[in-house]
Structure formats: structure tokens, C-alpha cells
Amino acid sequence: MRTKQKSVRTGFPAGHFYSPDIDPEELTERESEIWPVTPLPVLGIDFNERSHRQILSEDFPRFIGDYDYPEKENEVKQAHDFFTQNSQFSWLDARATFVLMRKWRPSRVVEVGSGYSSLLMADVNRRFLSGKCLLTCIEPYPRLFLKQGVPGISKVIEEKVQ
């Protein structure tokens, strides 16, 4: 049984500058421009493929074994403990951040938009960087754990960044 499509009335037609919808015909006409066979260089950015391969083949295996965070919130001991299955910063992002912080050992991190990622970085800072990373979190609406203070976070700025 086929259902009838509803007509949606919008302020601007698909493809218009102010419309969030694309015009499929325009997309088809510009296909070779949008998805060229030979990728165009991105000026000013060195994607450094060799470094990416090293991170995946050497650094991930070297550090990922130490990723020992609980999966669920009911498995943490304290409110400021990171757990993997959170609603904001989960599986791959958490592991990549863990490995990269271990590899690069930053002396300073300024994070705009803070929360679960901050908990992970704070823990890495405490456990593996001897608390030497100055971790500044900027968050206009901080969660309670950020307001209460998290060991390993140097400063929380409760401001908008625009």
C-alpha cells in the first residue's frame, strides 16, 4: 500500500540561499564540480597522511590498552568520573582523544564547549600527564560536575564564545 506524500510549505524554494533544502537538479548539474575525480588541494592545510597512518598503526596500539573507562554511568565511583556511553562524547571520539592526549602530551588545552570530553581530558591529565596540562573549559551552560570542580581542570569559564 502506498502512502500519500504530504506537501510541506516552506518560506523559500529548495536551492534558494535561505532554504535549508537543496535543489536536486542543481546538484546533478554541478556533480563534477562538487565531487571532482581528482581532489582539489586545500590551501593552507597539511593533512599529513603519513602522520595519520603512524597514529593509527603505532600510537593507537601503544596507548589504547590503557583506556579503562567504564561503559555506563552506574559504573562510575564519583560524579566527575568519565564513562564511555554518555550522550555527548562517546565511543570513537573518546578513544581518539585519549590516544592523542597521551601521544602529544599538551601543556595547555582550551576547550570551547565542555562536558564529558572535559572529564576524559581531566582524567588523562591527572593519571598520565602528572597534572601538568593547563586545561581551560569555556562553557556557557556548564553541567553540575563542571561547576563543582573537577580535578585536572585548571579553570572553567562560564561564558559564551561568539
Within a domain: residue 49?
no
Within a domain: residue 150?
yes
3-class DSSP state of 88: coil
Q: What number of CA atoms fall less than 13 Å from residue 160's CA on the CB side?
A: 1
Q: What number of CA atoms fall less than 13 Å from residue 147's CA on the CB side?
A: 6
Grid coordinates in use for 7? 506537501
Sheet containing 134-138, strands listed edge to edge, beginning at the edge strand earlier in sequence = 108-112, 134-138, 155-157
Within a domain: residue 56?
no
Within a domain: residue 46?
no
pLDDT at 14 (0 to 100): 86
DSSP 44-73: T----HHHHHHIIIIIHHHHGGG----SSG
pTM: 0.75
Within a domain: residue 87?
yes
Within a domain: residue 13?
no
Q: What is the pLDDT of residues 102-112, one digit of tens each?
A: 999 999 999 99
% of the chain at pLDDT higher than 90 = 73
Q: Is the pLDDT of residue 7 over 80?
A: no
Grid coordinates in use for 69? 573507562
Within a domain: residue 37?
no
Q: What is the pLDDT of residues 105-132, one digit of tens each?
A: 999 999 999 999 999 999 999 999 999 9
Q: Could you tell me the residue range of the domain that residue 144 belongs to?
A: 77-157
Within a domain: residue 67?
no
Q: What's the CA gap between 34 and 98, in Å, rounded?
A: 34
If you average pLDDT over residues 45-69, what whole number do you get?
A: 96
Number of domains in the chain: 1
Grid coordinates in use for 100? 592523542
State the greatest distance between any 2 C-alpha atoms of the chain, in Å, as a whole number: 64
* Per-residue pLDDT band at 35 (split at 50, 70, 90): confident
